[in-house]
Amino acid sequence: MKQCPIKEMPEREDEVRSALDISALNVVFPTKVGDVHVARDVYLRVGENESLCLAGESGCGKSVLALAITRLLPKKANIQGKIRVHGVDILEAREECVRRIRCRQISLIQEQPSLCLNPVMNIGSQVAEAARVSLGYSSAQAKRAALDLLRRTGIPEPKHRYRLYPHQLSGGMNQRVMIAMALAARPRLLIADEPTTALDPYIQVQLIELLQGVKRELGASLLLITHDLDVALELCTDVAIMYAGQVMERGKLERVVENPRHPYTQGLLRCFSEEKPRAIPGVSPPLSDIPSGCGFHPRCPLARPECATMSPIWRNGCRCHL
């Protein structure tokens, strides 16, 4: 793998070892209705061979993080902060460098796979393209590699399906194709953005198993973005809960599920509880109009006067005044 010419000196020892390190990230989109703060003061860390689940409701800014890490956000987005992948500062690096990092070190798996594949190219050549670009294979080598990848992701009759088009395959198959593309260069960081949403539950189980296998085989770190905590429980060890663009709670998944500290997490888990699922009253705010102070205070059952005015600081794995 070609080394990227820019390499920041790590500030702390363990930063070198973390696959993904986000600090003080702020993402703002200037729009006609005003500035939209999609991510506010986000801190995240995924260590080597670890797996973090980024959970939250739709519209809380999770997908934006995935795009920010790979620097695929539109140009008008205003990004501040630091994102480090294996020690490389993504936001400061040259475009050429980031391009090489994509797919060689970071891979992105998206939701709605049928829309994420080029409809006029057959799936085999799309996978082969990933192999060709990231590993510098020739066409013949890339085709062989693509066939191998298709087989490894559990697509039956890879030789026949190589020539098929995305609209001829089911959603689950297409997602396997996406995963095959993501694996091409054996990346060390996998970002999966809602990989199983919009697919049948039966397919979801299969894909989860596939992802587990992939993660094991590559020894890669995983950043799983989802609103489905069941999927998270299968795949991840850590969790970060996001609400209105901020990370509200962070910690080991088991701990958080057993003993949630933040009122939002508590409410969220109540939604999933088997005995008496109860929704959190109200709706999550649009990112263009976030309440002042703690973003959750209008819906928080334990809100106190200072929650409305002061932004809570990070304390004890949780961002709350309590």
Partner 1 sequence: MTNFILARVLALIPVLFGISVIAFFSLAFCPGDPAEMALARLMDTESPPREAVKELRRKLGYDRPLPVRYSMWLSRILKGDLGSSVQSGRPVFKEVKKAMTASLELAASAMLVTIVLVLGLGVLSAVYAGSFFDFSVLGLSLVGITLPDFFLAVLGILFFSVYLNWLPVGGHGSLLNLILPTMTLAAVNSVVAIRLMRTSMLQTLGSRYLLTARAKGLRETAVISRHALRGALPPVVNYLGALTGHMLGGAVVVETIFMWPGIGRLLVEAVRSRDVFVVQGCVLAIGIAYVLVNLGVDILHAVLDPRIRNGEEGLDANTGKT
Closest CA to 108 of 149, 164, 141, 64: 64
Whole-number Å distance between alpha carbons of 84 and 284:
30
Q: Cα–chain-centroid distance for residue 39?
A: 14
- Which residues have a Cβ under 8 Å from the Cβ of 227 and sit 6 or more positions away? 55, 56, 57, 58, 194, 197
For 223, the enclosing helix (H) or strand (E) is strand 221-226
> Is residue 234 at the binding interface for partner 1, with CB under 8 A as the rule?
no
From candidates 19, 37, 52, 110, binder to partner 1 by CB under 8 A: 110
From candidates 40, 84, 104, 319, binder to partner 1 by CB under 8 A: 104
Whole-number Å distance between alpha carbons of 33 and 36:
8
CB burial of residue 308 (10 Å; 0-12, 13-18, 19+): middle
From candidates 22, 53, 86, 134, binder to partner 1 by CB under 8 A: 134
> Is residue 167 at the binding interface for partner 1, with CB under 8 A as the rule?
yes
> Is residue 46 at the binding interface for partner 1, with CB under 8 A as the rule?
no
SS3 319: strand
Residue 89 or 129 having the CB closest to partner 1: 129
How many residues contact partner 1, by CB under 8 A? 30
> Is residue 129 at the binding interface for partner 1, with CB under 8 A as the rule?
yes
Residue 44 or 66 having the CB closest to partner 1: 66
> Is residue 204 at the binding interface for partner 1, with CB under 8 A as the rule?
no
From candidates 29, 43, 165, 314, binder to partner 1 by CB under 8 A: 165
Give the contact letters, 281-310, x = binds to partner 1 (CB under 8 A), - = no: ------------------------------
- Which residues have a Cβ under 8 Å from the Cβ of 262 and sit 6 or more positions away? 241, 248, 249, 296, 318, 319, 320
Provide the binding-site residues for partner 1, judged by CB under 8 A. 67, 70, 72, 99-104, 107-108, 110, 112, 114-122, 129-130, 133-134, 165, 167, 178, 181
